[in-house]
Amino acid sequence: MEKRFECDRTALRQSRITFWFYVVSIPIIIFLFLLPFIRAGQFVFSPYSIVYIGIILYLIYAGYRSMLVMNSIKHSYCAVEGDRISGVSTPDPYKKAIPFELDRRDILGIGKTTVSAGGMRSHPALVINTADQKIVLLTIEHVDELKQELDKRETQE
């Protein structure tokens, strides 16, 4: 019987809110940047223009990074079926996730950690250490239940 642990829906919802905050903020700041041009009919380059351009570039950058985090959270899962464990490892939420499949006897240790997602935001993660890789399961639902499932099977051997 396969037990499947998906991403935490609360973390996914929070990452979507963050992403949409940046997406909605970009047109507002662009409108405020262009408002003097709309009113006066001519564009005057000033120190405020540099600040607005900096804010717009930061919002685009932060929006892109929040989209990467949102996709990493959305694709995270872990499936436990007998002695086989499979899922998606996300050691860095800004890089591509890596699918994995391993045998239960390859596990050397299991622990919990937090993965930084920029600024002051971090997400909980379960770490499975093997001899040749470190598997990070980002924002998996029921982390304690998954950890107990892996520990329980480990002690039965």
| Residue-level pLDDT, tens digit, the chain, 157 residues | 788 899 989 989 998 998 999 999 999 998 888 887 787 777 777 888 889 899 999 999 999 999 998 998 999 989 988 888 899 988 888 888 889 998 888 888 888 888 877 667 888 888 998 888 888 988 888 888 888 887 765 455 5
The model's pTM is 0.82
| CB 104, CB 84: distance < 8 Å | yes
**Would you say the C-alpha torsion 129, 85, 142, 5 has a positive or negative sign?**
positive
- Cα–Cα distances (Å) from 81 to 10, 133, 140, 141, 146, in that order, read 26, 20, 17, 17, 12
| CB 122, CB 75: distance < 8 Å | no
| CB 107, CB 150: distance < 8 Å | yes
- What pLDDT is stored for residue 17 in this prediction? 92
C-alpha–C-alpha distance, residues 145 and 77, integer Å: 14
Residue 66 CB neighbours (<10 A): 24
Is residue 103 within a helix (H) or strand (E), and if so which, with residue range? strand 98-103
**Would you say the C-alpha torsion 114, 146, 66, 102 has a positive or negative sign?**
positive
Tokens of 129: 């250490």
| CB 140, CB 5: distance < 8 Å | yes
